[in-house]
Amino acid sequence: MRDIVSKLPDVGTTIFTVMSSLAAEYNAVNLGQGFPDFRMNEELIASVNEAMHKGFNQYVHMNGYIPLREILAEKIQSLYGTTVHPDTEITITPGGTYAIYTALTAVLQPGDEVIVFQPGYDSYVPNVVINGARPLLIPLQYPGYTIDWQAVRKAVSSRTRMIMLNSPHNPTGAVLREEDIQELRQIVKDNDLWILSDEVYEHVIFDGEPHRSMLRYPDLLERSFVCFSFGKIYHCTGWKIGYCVAPAAAMAEFRKVHQFNCFSVDSPKQVALATFLKQREQYEQLGAFVQSRRDYFLELMKATRFRMHPSSGSYFILGSYEHFSDESEKDLAIRITKEYGVASIPVSAFYQNPVDNKVLRFCFCKKEETLEKAVERLRKV
């Protein structure tokens, strides 16, 4: 039998799997993976159960349950003042990561280049590579993790096809500012680039900061695939359901890939979400709710030796330790898990060519008692 020639020869087991396994082995508090540990809304759970009993257990339309797409179009109009056609410009997907992969597959040809900022979500680079394209890796500027737009200009060539953005940002909690939008506008216009915008933390944004979605800006939206996740809104990351918004012609190409991969997404959950999304307060209040967890965690962490970075959004915040340890990020993260019983993620894991700034990522979207237990242990580090 012939051996399989790997399309991802440099990819092994991710640090997230490693740290979660260690957390389980050492009975550690898991502040590594980005998932809440509190219960989701009981009404939404009941709505899914009701949809099943009412017979919504067969395939819905390939592009998604139309009432769900319609309420999403209403939401986009309300939040961003943008008209999106639910029939031609929104597709429901099995999670945000799937939407990202499908958008890249729809656009990229072998030899294309894609601008990817680092640190960044771990699926981006493999998704680019498996499509025969080349990632142009541009580091965010430490310690604020801001975009160096001059470096972007220097990196762009005639082969550059797309730029990938993520705001609020995983792992750093940084967000796009108005000056970033102005720079982005000019660069994509001058170089005829597509944008892939990962906005799964759309509503998890803090301190009164607006979410600068590509959906706000017609000139950017006309060249964008914008990807979202219901799991991050309704604390149900295990549902793996999201959606993508793009101009009609681009969405037609997206759906060509989608129809031969997933084809159709979980029906009863779509039916339940179509009704539940009418309760606008559920997502409008999310930022304040998660910010309360961030603020509580920051207050607790004052009792530790970690120096905490700002976080303007997402489930995550970074803590620096260079003033008390010379260990690598990976070594310290593993040692803290084993010896003190708290799992985190080394930020170096979010780089293709690891950069070790002595920073760990913590997930604070947890119950208060979980955070208290974790920090009680971190005080001893």
Q: In the chain, where are the structural domains located?
A: 15-40+284-378, 55-279
pLDDT at 13 (0 to 100) = 77
Token readout for 204 is: 């998890």
pLDDT at 364 (0 to 100) = 98
149-156 long-range contacts, CB within 8 A, separation 24+ = 149/180, 149/183, 149/187, 152/115, 152/183, 152/187, 153/187, 155/115, 156/115, 156/187, 156/191, 156/193
Cis bond before residue 346 (omega within 30° of 0): no
Query: Rounded distance, CA 10 to CA 325, Å?
Result: 30
In what order do the strands lie in the sheet containing 307-308?
Answer: 307-308, 316-320, 359-363, 345-346
pLDDT at 111 (0 to 100) = 96
pLDDT at 11 (0 to 100) = 83
Q: Are strands 90-93 and 242-245 parallel, antiparallel or unpaired?
A: antiparallel
The fold of 15-40+284-378 is Aspartate Aminotransferase, domain 1 (3.90.1150)
Q: Quick one: which H or E segment has residue 73?
A: helix 66-80
pLDDT at 216 (0 to 100) = 97
Q: Are 39 and 259 in contact (CB under 8 A)?
A: no
Phi, psi of 378 (to 5 degrees): -65, -25
Q: CB within 8 A of 2, min separation 6: which ones? A: none
Of the candidates 237, 330, 232, 220, which has an alpha carbon nearest to the alpha carbon of residue 289?
232
pLDDT at 33 (0 to 100) = 86
Q: Are 380 and 342 in contact (CB under 8 A)?
A: no
> Matching CATH topology for 15-40+284-378 and 55-279?
no
Token readout for 350 is: 């979010």
pLDDT at 353 (0 to 100) = 85
Q: Are strands 316-320 and 307-308 parallel, antiparallel or unpaired?
A: antiparallel
Q: What is the pLDDT along the chain (381 residues), one digit of tens a residue?
A: 888 999 998 887 788 888 989 999 999 999 998 889 989 999 999 999 999 999 999 999 999 999 999 999 999 999 999 999 999 999 999 999 999 999 999 999 999 999 999 999 999 999 999 999 999 999 999 999 999 999 999 999 999 999 999 999 999 999 999 999 999 999 999 999 999 999 999 999 999 999 999 999 999 999 999 999 999 999 999 999 999 999 999 999 999 999 999 999 999 999 999 999 999 999 999 999 999 999 999 999 999 999 999 999 999 999 999 999 999 999 999 999 999 999 999 999 999 988 999 999 999 999 999 999 999 999 999
pLDDT at 14 (0 to 100) = 82
Looking at the DSSP assignment, which residues form a beta bridge with residue 165? 197
Distances (CA, A) of 128 to 18, 101, 299, 374: 23, 8, 39, 36
Cα angle 88, 121, 207; round to 5: 85
- In this prediction the pTM is 0.96
The fold of 55-279 is Aspartate Aminotransferase; domain 2 (3.40.640)
Cα angle 302, 30, 32; round to 5: 80
pLDDT at 35 (0 to 100) = 85
